[in-house]
Every structure is written in C-alpha cells, then in structure tokens.
Structure 1
Amino acid sequence: MTARTLRQMLARTPVMPVLTMHDARWAADLAQALVNGGICVFEVVMRTPQSVAALRAMLEATPDADIGMGTLLTPEDLQTARLAGAKFGVSPGLTPDLAAAIEATKFPFLPGVATASEVMQARSRGLKELKFFPANGSAGANWIKDMSSVFPDVLFCPTGGIRPADIPAYLNLANCTTVGGSWVVPQDMLGDRDWAGITALAQQARAFRPE
C-alpha cells in the first residue's frame, strides 16, 4: 500500500489526540480504544521514558492507524521517531537543523508556527502542513481564517487549549481539517484504564466530522 501523505493522514480524523504515556504497558489497549471509537490518527509526545515503547506497542496493536511522535526538537529526536516506526513527526517550532533533517529524510512532518513569518519560513522549506501552537482555545480560529488568503496552499492543525466547544469554529475553515487535543484521553481515565470511557470520548471526537 502506498504510504499516505501527511495531508491525507490529517484528513482521516477531525480530532488528533495528543498522548502523554507514562506506562507503555497500556499503550496497545489505549490505541485499540481510540480506534474502536473511530479515531485512527494520534500523536505520542516524546516527553517520558516510555514514549518510544508506547509508540511501538500502539503501531503493533493498530497497524492501520497513523501514529506520529511529537515534541521532536532536534534531528536526533526525528531519527528516534523514524526508527520507532512513527508515521509522522510533530514539533512546537522549527529550527534550521530540524528543517534540514526533515528535508533530508522526507519524513512527514508537522512543525509548529505562531506567526506569519514562521509560516513563510516553514513554507520555504516545502512544509505546507503546519501546527498552529498555541491555539489558546477558540482564539486561534480567527488567525487561521486570516491566513487562508495569504497562504492558500497551507493546511493548519491547531493545538493548545482547544476544548470540544471550540472545535466547530476550526473545522468550518477550509484550511483546517484537524485539531489536536489531549482531552480525548484524560490522564485519570488512562490511569484507571477506562477503555470504554476513552472509546466514548473518541466517538464524541469523531462525530465532529461524520462519515
């Protein structure tokens, strides 16, 4: 099967859960709970010692899911994510070294931007799928709307402080098909291994863009 582009991956889901994994033992069950709820694209952040093991367990449990790795800050982080099998990478920003590594590897990548200048810098590197961060709830929807006429070829995925009530304002924009958020997998539900509850939240997230 031909690998999906990043834009095709994002189009698979209206909400991309952002996951912090402290215990990889439950990663496979979590991935299955999300997929059971209709969410097949999610990001595991590289902020804990268990993140790489969790990513690998999720990929094995849900092979059709597109699972990325986030908080990639350096070329070394990018290489770690690639070797772990991540389908794409995510970062809060973009440095020249990281941009060069993305170009060299052709790894699908979602770098963070917060200004028009940063959009221009990423776009000059051929990166046209960008994370708008921090979105600060619904506040970022107007910014993304304003960018549509200036950068009509850029697709934004906002993250940071977005709650369910904010999502329709984003998904109504032509240059935003996906939002990121951690609310789909609350840490208390994950700690309790409440897979049914997480599946229900995934179904709620999926419903923002019905099939």
Structure 2
Amino acid sequence: MTGDPQARLEALGPIPAVVPVVTISDGVDAMSLARALCRGGLDVIEVVLRTPAALRAIERIAAEVPEARVGAGTVTSPEQVSAARRVGATFLVLPGSPGRLVDAALDSGLAVLPAASTVTEMMTLAERGFRTLKFFPAEAVGGVRLLSAVGAPLPGLRFCPTGGVSVANARDYLALPNVPFVGGSWVCPGDALRDGDWARVEALAAEAASLSPGT
C-alpha cells in the first residue's frame, strides 16, 4: 500500500456525507447496528475506543458485516493503533495529532484521519502529506466560521468536522467547499442502541445519507 496518506483514504472508496460516530457498550448488538446503518446508506462506520466493548465490536463487524467499512475512532496511543489493526479496522481516526501517535498510525498501513483544531496543526499535518483532516472539537473551537476562514489560506485541505455536529447544523458544514463529510453520533442515539431499535437507526441513517456536500 502506498505511503501517501491521501491515497490510503481514497482507497477506502466513496465516503458518505455523514460518518456515524458510534459508542458501543456491553450488550449492544454491533452487527445488527452495522447492518441497520448500511441499509440506511451509511456504510463507513467509526467505532470509538471509549468502551471495553469497542475492539470486539470492530472485530465482529469486520468479520461478519462485509458491506460495512469499519474503523476505530478516538485512537490515542500506538498500542491502540496496533489493537485496531489486529481486529480488522480499515481506518483510524485520531482526536489529536501528537508526533508519536501519527507515526504509529502511518506505520500501520491503514487510512488515517488525524485531528487538528488550529492552523498550525493543520499546516503541520499538511507537511506530512495529509490532505483530509478531522476537525475536532468542531463547535467548541469555532465551527463553520473557522473552517470558512481557513479555506483561502489552506486551499489544499479538506476537513471532517466532528464534535457538536448534529442534524441541525450538518448542512451548514457540508455547504463549505472544504468539507466533504462530517462525523456525527446523532444517527446512533444511545437509547436506540440500548433498546435494539434498528428501524429507528436505519431511518436516521437514511435521513443522513440524503445529505450531500455543497448543498
């Protein structure tokens, strides 16, 4: 696989305008969740490594839901990079971009979406070959206004805003020319996951999948 970070991301194939950011607790049927998201049109799924159940969920989705492209989010250490790769994650999403973590993520051979919230972080990652970055925590650090402001001085960069992005403001982000997709947890509400309400998840995913960049 090429060492070019952007080429790795593009090798995943087309990414929907909304990437579900999923927190899976014990007892949640990860496979049914993944299938519901895919039926709704969201087949790129970020499972965050914030619970003990996360790695097992990634492993089961990767092995048993072939229509899904599942990755690990909130990856904060080289050890988590290795663990995510071992269980079959196809991409990594980092909440920040410390050098040692970025090195490990690049060495994994997987597609990587490192996060930036300042212009200096954005430019530093661009120097390393990244062209698509996670923008986190989006709403807390300036949201749409900040991304609009950096568009002219950093025309080669694209962003996936995450953190405070919701059904209410997703269109505002996607209307920006430097935002091809957003990350959102609203398509996987905790009560729906707890209750196994996959019809609701599918409906929320279908609504999100109807969004598109530039509109």
TM-score, normalised to structure 1's length?
0.91
Deviation at 1:107, TM superposition (A): 2.2
Consecutive unaligned residues of structure 2, counting only runs of 5 or more, are 1-6
Q: How does 1:60-139 map to 2 (within 5 A)?
A: 60-136=63-139, 139=142
Give unmatched runs, 5+ long, in structure 1.
none
Give, in whole Å, the separation in 1 of the partners of 2:181 and 2:206. Answer: 15
Partner of 1:141: 144
Bigger shift: 8-17 or 185-194? 8-17
Question: 1:156, CA displacement in angstroms?
Answer: 0.2
- Equivalent pairs, count: 207
- Two-structure CA RMSD over aligned residues (Å): 2.0
**What letter is aligned with 2:16?**
T
Identity percentage over the alignment?
A: 40
Aligned-partner residue type, residue 98 of structure 1: L
1:44 to 37, 47, 56: 47
Match in the other structure for 1:200: 203
Comparing both structures, which one devotes a greater share of its residues to helix? 1
Shift of the 182–145 alpha-carbon distance from structure 1 to 2, 3 Å rule, reads same
Helix, strand or coil at the partner of 2:152: helix
Change (3 A) 1:155 1:8: farther
After superposition, the C-alpha distances for 1:171-191 in whole angstroms (9 at most, x for unaligned) are 112211111111100000100
Query: TM-score under structure 2 normalisation?
Result: 0.89
Aligned to 2:173: 170
Alignment-derived partner of residue 13 in structure 1: 16
Aligned mate of 2:187, from 181, 184, 188? 184
Could you tell me whether the CA contact under 8 Å between 1:16 and 1:178 is conserved in 2?
A: yes
d(CA) in 1 for partners of 2:10, 2:159? 10
Correspondence for 1:157: 160
User: What is the deviation of 1:139?
Assistant: 4.9
Query: Which amino acid in the other structure matches residue 118 of structure 1?
Result: E
